[in-house]
């Protein structure tokens, strides 16, 4: 009888932990960082094996800028589910922000092996970006080409693929990928139009490239991209 009572209490704690974890997730979506942290911490105290609560706590504390606390929470979650691509993806994002690119690559390569993850293009895009940061440009092209193959309208992956093609000197492919960003993403990526113009100039198509640089200035005034476009135009004597 005593055993049954303890089992019932454990089940109640697990249910309460799950409910508080769900609440923390809702707070995270709403941008209520402190409430998210409080609810997630409460959830993990009730059930130390609530991996979703640890994951949410990691995300909330990362949003606060508490990187050490975030990493501890990620590690607790990964001890419980070490092969979870979603966890590995988010942890690698923290690592990249901390300039720990080689560690991020290790976790993203692990995440790539999770065939059950519903958004593999996200993993491949982040892996490609990490490879670029590590000067592994050909590896970056491979990962990003696969990301685009899996999700052809993935604007971020198309842009990163343009960067990667440029790094390996394949300017024709870079222009093609960046043109896809411009046409498919409808102004969401002014940096794509900027880089498109820069690469055209590098290919010797100066007037055409200058036209796209001017387009950045006209359509996205008072942005970093516009300022860079002014610099690029000045460099080719077309201020």
The answer, yes or no, to whether residue 1 has pLDDT greater than 50, is: no
- Structure confidence at residue 189 as a pLDDT band (50, 70, 90): confident
Mean pLDDT confidence for 64-77:
96
Q: What is the pLDDT of residues 77-126, one digit of tens each?
A: 999 999 999 999 999 999 999 999 999 999 999 999 998 999 999 999 99
104-109 long-range contacts, Cβ below 8 Å, gap at least 24?
A: 104/130, 105/130, 105/131, 105/134
Residues 6+ apart with CB under 8 A from 54: 40, 44, 73, 74, 76, 77, 80
pLDDT for the residue 238: 72
- Render pLDDT for 34-66 as a digit per residue (tens, 0 to 9): 999 999 999 999 999 999 999 999 999 999 999
pLDDT at residue number 3 = 42
State the Cα–Cα distance between residues 111 and 125, nearest whole angstrom: 12
- CA neighbor of 210 nearest in space, from 195, 228, 198: 198
Burial of 213 per CB tally in 10 Å (0-12, 13-18, 19+): buried
| High-pLDDT (> 90) share of the chain, % | 85
Within the chain, residue ranges assigned H as helices are 2-30, 33-46, 51-64, 67-80, 85-97, 101-112, 120-133, 137-150, 155-167, 171-185, 190-202, 206-219, 224-235
The span from the CA of 109 to the CA of 69, in Å, is 24
Q: Are 98 and 80 in contact (CB under 8 A)?
A: no
Least confident of 63-72, 132-141, 185-194, 226-235: 185-194
**Whether residue 74 has pLDDT greater than 70:** yes
């Amino acid at each position: 009888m005593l055993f049954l009572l303890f089992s019932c209490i454990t089940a109640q704690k697990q249910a309460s932990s799950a409910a508080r974890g769900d609440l923390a997730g809702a707070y995270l979506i709403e941008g209520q960082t402190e409430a998210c942290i409080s609810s997630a911490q409460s959830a993990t105290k009730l059930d130390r094996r609530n991996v979703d609560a640890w994951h949410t706590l990691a995300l909330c504390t990362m949003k606060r800028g508490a990187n050490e606390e975030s990493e501890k929470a990620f590690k607790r979650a990964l001890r419980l589910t070490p092969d979870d691509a979603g966890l590995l993806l988010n942890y690698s994002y923290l690592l990249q922000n901390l300039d720990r690119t080689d560690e991020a690559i290790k976790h993203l390569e692990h995440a790539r092996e999770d065939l059950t993850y519903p958004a593999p293009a996200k993993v491949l895009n982040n892996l490609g970006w990490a490879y670029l940061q590590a000067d592994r440009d050909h590896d970056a092209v491979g990962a990003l080409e696969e990301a685009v193959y899996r999700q052809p309208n993935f604007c971020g992956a198309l842009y990163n693929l343009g960067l990667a093609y440029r790094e390996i000197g394949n300017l024709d492919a870079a222009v093609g990928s960046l043109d896809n960003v411009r046409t498919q993403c409808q102004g969401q990526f002014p940096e794509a139009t900027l880089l498109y113009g820069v690469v055209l100039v590098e290919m010797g198509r100066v007037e055409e490239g200058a036209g796209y640089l001017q387009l950045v200035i006209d359509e996205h005034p008072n942005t970093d991209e516009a300022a860079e476009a002014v610099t690029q135009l000045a460099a080719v004597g077309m201020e």
